[in-house]
């Protein structure tokens, strides 16, 4: 199978998971600094600067939190729960130098980003434990402060908990969507294999059944006249040999196509309506006359329609030879601007549908259904059997 060019993977797959967590931590630190500095256009900073924010002890606490965040980023892929605990500890540590009574959302950003990746890529059991840890940590931090008589920022606490919940829900939804896409891909692959097997089965059935029918008819004729008409018997046996060689050649071509790497390889050479006259001549020579009538303007047809129309005629003529008990049948091929019709009519016993216990009629019906056409096969009221198919044509089909 030829290699297909693929583009580079998405950015979130090229950058390690831990790097995203570290980037989120750095973004949170930058935001924390900016809101405590009077920016252009502001009369005063958005947040009050705590006493220890720029002191050596505050900088030491921030450095310690950053070190824990870096360690959490390094461990995120191998030990996600440990990494998440380190990131939460980093958020709590950095909060102590801000003069705030609750974990701040910018410091919690790295936790939310990591939680998303954990929920989107790991099993539900692990991601649920990570989600519970991310939600319970800020709540537990607030409970400890309340038990010591200190105040908390309830609104900020709610925002942090909501951020954790949203990150987990989005990550879990991503994981489920990815799993669903994998299932759909597997189903599509299985369906493609089934369709290919049915296609091969139809081709083999149509090719072999017709040839074996002709061989049986010619062999029976040879057996009947071998004593009285040796020349006619030799001619029939020659037809048997020719049909056998053609069948063997067709089977070899089919097996060769199956060995090719590309699925759906054409079983070259594929027959079409141009071969109907040859089919009629071979069947007539075997003892069942086939009259072919062409109605409308003959045009260049799409390969799948050309092949299907020929296979329907071939299978119907084979059923006439094997089951109808008649000496002739009529094949009509009608070409209209928007459709192609084929009709095979015989005047035999009219029991082809009951006698055909194989997959002939099923295969014909499947072919027509795949082309969104109409198919019918039933005994005629006045005797005999009729097979008819109507195949829609694309608007681009032109006259030849």
Average pLDDT over residues 82-110: 84
* Contact between residue 25 and residue 110 where contact means Cβ atoms under 8 Å apart: yes
Residues 115 and 201 in one domain: no
Q: Which pLDDT score is estimated for 253? A: 66
Residues 125 and 171 occupy one common structural domain: yes
Is the residue at 345 inside a domain? yes
At 181-216, the pLDDT tens digits run 888 877 877 777 677 667 666 667 666 766 676 777
Mean pLDDT of 5-13: 58
Do 221 and 293 share a domain, yes or no?
A: yes
pLDDT band, very low/low/confident/very high, at 359 (cuts 50, 70, 90) = low
Residues 170, 44 within the same domain: yes
The pLDDT score that the predictor gives to residue 210 is: 64
Residues 6+ away with beta carbon under 8 Å from 348: 320, 323, 324, 325, 326, 383, 384, 385
Confidence (pLDDT) at 115: 92
Give tens-digit pLDDT for 49-89: 665 667 777 778 888 888 998 988 888 888 989 989 999 98
Q: Give yes or no: residues 71 and 44 share one domain.
A: yes
Residues 178 and 210 in one domain: no
6 lies in some domain:
no
Closest CA to 225 of 214, 216, 215, 234: 234
Residue-wise pLDDT tens digits, 207-216:
676 667 677 7
pLDDT in tens, 372-393: 899 999 898 878 899 999 999 8
Walk across the sheet containing 339-346 and list its strands. Answer: 289-295, 328-336, 339-346, 385-392, 374-379
Residue 324, pLDDT > 70, answer yes
For residue 32, the enclosing domain spans 11-187
What are the start-end ranges of the H helices in 226-294? 230-259, 276-285
| Confidence band for 273, pLDDT divided at 50, 70 and 90 | very high
How sure is the predictor about 354, in pLDDT bands with cuts at 50, 70 and 90?
very low
What does the mean pLDDT of the chain come to?
A: 80
User: If pLDDT is split at 50, 70 and 90, which confidence band does 292 have?
Assistant: very high
d(CA 1, CA 369): 29
CA 271 – CA 152 distance, rounded (Å): 82
Last residue of a domain, one of 143, 161, 187: 187
The whole-angstrom separation of Cα 213 and Cα 290 is 15
Check whether residue 276 and residue 318 sit in a common domain: yes
With 50 as the cut, is the pLDDT of residue 267 above it?
no
Looking up residue 308, the CATH number of its domain turns out to be 3.30.565.10
DSSP helix/strand/coil, 342: strand
User: Are 299 and 356 in a shared domain?
Assistant: yes
The predicted structure's pLDDT at residue 13: 65
Please tell me the distance from the alpha carbon of residue 171 to that of residue 11, in angstroms, as a whole number: 17
> Does a structural domain hold residue 344?
yes
201-232 core/surface letters (b: 16 or more CB in 10 A; e: else): ebbebbbebbbebbbebbbebbeeeeeeeeee
DSSP string, 207-240: HHHHHHHHHHHHHHHHHHHTTT-HHHHHHHHHHH
Residue 225 lies in a domain: yes
Provide the β-strand partners of residue 292: 331
Residue 53, phi then psi, degrees to nearest 5 = -65, -40
Task: Look at residues 154, 187, 220 and tell me which one is the last residue of a structural domain.
Answer: 187
H/E run at residue 295 = strand 289-295
Q: Which residues contact 271 (CB under 8 A, 6 or more apart)?
A: 307, 310, 311, 314
Residue 170 has pLDDT above 70, yes or no: yes
Domain count, the chain: 2
| 158, 214: one domain | no
CB 309 within 8 A of CB 389: yes
369 burial (CB, 10 Å; 0-12 / 13-18 / 19+) is exposed
Q: Does residue 2 lie in a domain region?
A: no
Q: What is the pLDDT of residue 12?
A: 59
Domain membership flag for residue 24: yes
Q: What is the spatial distance between Cα 44 and Cα 14, in angstroms, rounded to a whole number? A: 41
- Note whether 318 and 224 are same-domain residues: yes
pLDDT tens profile 112-151: 999 998 998 888 889 899 999 999 988 888 888 888 888 7
pLDDT attached to residue 293: 93
256 and 207 fall within a common domain = yes
Would 296 be classed as within a structural domain? yes
Residue 241 and residue 349 in one domain = yes
Last residue of a domain, one of 165, 187, 209: 187
Question: Is 74 within a domain?
Answer: yes
């Amino acid at each position: 199978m030829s290699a297909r060019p693929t583009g580079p993977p998405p950015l979130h797959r090229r950058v390690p998971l831990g790097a995203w967590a570290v980037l989120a931590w750095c973004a949170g630190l930058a935001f924390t600094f900016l809101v405590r500095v009077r920016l252009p256009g502001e009369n005063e900073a958005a947040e009050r600067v705590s006493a220890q924010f720029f002191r050596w002890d505050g900088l030491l606490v921030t450095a310690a939190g950053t070190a824990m965040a870096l360690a959490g980023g390094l461990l995120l892929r191998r030990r996600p729960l440990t990494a998440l605990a380190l990131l939460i500890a980093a958020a709590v540590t950095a909060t102590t130098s801000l003069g705030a009574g609750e974990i701040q959302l910018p410091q919690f950003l790295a936790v939310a980003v990591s939680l998303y990746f954990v929920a989107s890529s790991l099993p539900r059991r692990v991601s649920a434990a990570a989600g519970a840890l991310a939600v319970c940590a800020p709540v537990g931090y607030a409970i400890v402060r309340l038990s010591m008589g200190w105040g908390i920022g309830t609104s900020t606490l709610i925002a942090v908990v909501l951020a954790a919940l949203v990150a987990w829900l989005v990550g879990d939804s991503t994981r489920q969507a990815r799993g669903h896409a994998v299932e759909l891909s597997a189903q599509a692959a299985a369906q493609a294999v089934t369709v290919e097997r049915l296609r091969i089965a139809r081709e083999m059935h149509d090719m072999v059944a017709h040839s074996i029918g002709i061989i049986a008819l010619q062999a029976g004729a040879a057996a009947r006249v071998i004593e009285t008409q040796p020349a006619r018997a030799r001619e029939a046996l020659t037809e048997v040999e020719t049909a056998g060689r053609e069948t063997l050649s067709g089977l070899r071509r089919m097996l060769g196509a199956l060995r090719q790497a590309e699925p759906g390889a054409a079983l070259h050479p594929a027959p079409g309506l141009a071969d109907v006259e040859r089919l009629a001549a071979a069947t007539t020579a075997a003892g069942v006359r086939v009259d072919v009538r062409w109605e409308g303007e003959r045009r260049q047809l799409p390969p799948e329609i050309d092949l299907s129309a020929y296979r329907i005629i071939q299978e119907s003529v084979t059923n006439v030879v094997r089951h109808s008990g008649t000496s002739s049948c009529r094949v009509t091929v009608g070409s209209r601007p928007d459709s192609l019709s084929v009709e095979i009519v015989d005047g035999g016993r009219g029991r082809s549908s009951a006698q055909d216990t194989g997959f002939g009629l099923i295969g014909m019906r499947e072919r027509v259904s795949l082309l969104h056409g109409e198919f019918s096969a039933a005994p005629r009221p006045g005797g005999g059997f009729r097979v008819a198919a109507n195949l829609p044509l694309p608007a681009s089909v032109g006259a030849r």
